[in-house]
Amino acid sequence: MRLIYPALICIFMISACEEGDIQLIDDEAEPEIISTGHEFTEGPFWHPDGYLLFSDIPADRVYRWDPQTESSEVHIEPSGNSNGIQADIDGSVILCQHAGRLSRVTNDHELEVIVDNYEGNRLNSPNDLTVHSNGTIFFTDPPFGVDDEDRELDFSGVYQLTPDGELNLVYEEFDYPNGIVLNADETLLYVNDSETGDITVFDVDANGDLFSPRHFASVGPWGDGGAADGMVVDMDGRLYSTGPSGLSVFDVTGDHIQDIEFDQSITNVEWSGEDNSLLYITSRDLVYRLQFNIQGFKPR
C-alpha cells in the first residue's frame, strides 16, 4: 500500500451486523489491541506453531507476536520491506517484498530468493500472495514500493508461480492489484484493486490455472478511510476485504452484507484460533484481533 494514511484513532463501529439468522460479530464485540508502536503494519500470518508474524514495511522488519508473553519482537531484519506473508505447502514461510522479489525464510531466518524478475525485468513491488494446495503461488505486483527510475515493468501484474518454478503473467488489467485469496475449495481466486476498489474473481482448475475473470464486487475507490487491500474468506464462502469503509463483507454472489468500520485505515487480515474464528488485523501503527461467530478458512 502507499504509505499515506492519516493518523489513526482506534474507534470501532459495526453496521448491518446480520446475514439472515447469522450474526457475524456480537453486538458488544470490540477489537483488542495486541501490538503498538509500529510504522505501517501489513501481512499478518498466523504460524501453525502458535504465533503471529506481521510486516512493518517502512521499518524493514518482520515481527513475531507471542500470545504467551503478549509481546512483539523483531523476527527478521532487514526484511526487504516485506508485505504479504504466507506459508508454502512444505510449511516454509514466504515473504512478498517491496524490494522486488519473493523470498523464502530459511531455518536460520535468512532470506532465499524465489523469484525477482519477469522475463529478465525486475518485478515491481510484490504485495500479497496465496498458495494453492498443489504448490502454485499466486501473487500481486503493483508499483507501490518501486521508484519510477527503478521500474522495469510498465504494467501491474497478477502472477502464477508454478511448482516447477515457471513464472506466468496471468492478468495485467488492474491499476494497483493488491489483496489476493483462494476460496476454501480452491475453485475461485479473488483479487482486488486498490485504486478502484473493484474485486475480480477467477475460476481455478485443479492444475492451478485461471479462467473467466469477471467482476465480483467493490469496496469503493481509494479514500480517506483506506483502500482495497488484504482479504480472507470463511467456510461459508463469504469474502472479507479491507477498504475505505473498514472491513467489507460479501456473500458468495458478491452481494454486500455488512461493513465493520473503524476510525482508522486497516490493511490486512488473518484468521486464527481453534476454529479460525479469531481475526487478526493490521493497520498503520498497531495490530489487533477481533472475535467472530463463524469459522474462517485458513489453508492447511
Task: Using alpha carbons, select from 233, 139, 230, 218 the residue that is nearest to residue 185.
Answer: 233
C-alpha to C-alpha distances, 159 to 99, 226, 266, nearest whole angstrom:
17, 25, 25
Q: Cα angle vertex 43, ends 119, 38, to 5°?
A: 125
Query: What was the pLDDT predicted at 9?
Result: 34
Which residues, including other chains, have CB under 8 Å from residue 264's CB and lie 6 or more apart? 5, 8, 9, 10, 11, 283, 284
pLDDT score at 21: 61
CA–CA separation, 89 and 96 (whole Å): 16
**pTM of the predicted model as reported, rounded to 2 decimal places:** 0.93
Please tell me the chain's helix, strand, coil percentages from 3-state DSSP, rounded to the nearest 5.
0, 50, 50
- Rounded CA-CA distance 37/51 in Å is 19
Residue 223, C-beta contacts closer than 8 angstroms, at least 6 positions apart? 244
Tell me if 53 sits within 8 A of 61, measured CB to CB: no
Structure confidence at residue 262 (pLDDT): 77
| pLDDT score of 10 | 39
pLDDT, one tens digit per residue, over 165-191 is 999 999 999 999 999 999 999 999 999
Which domains are present in the chain?
A: 12-291 (2.120.10.30)
Closest CA to 179 of 266, 92, 259, 251: 266
Regions of the chain where pLDDT drops below 70: 1-21, 263
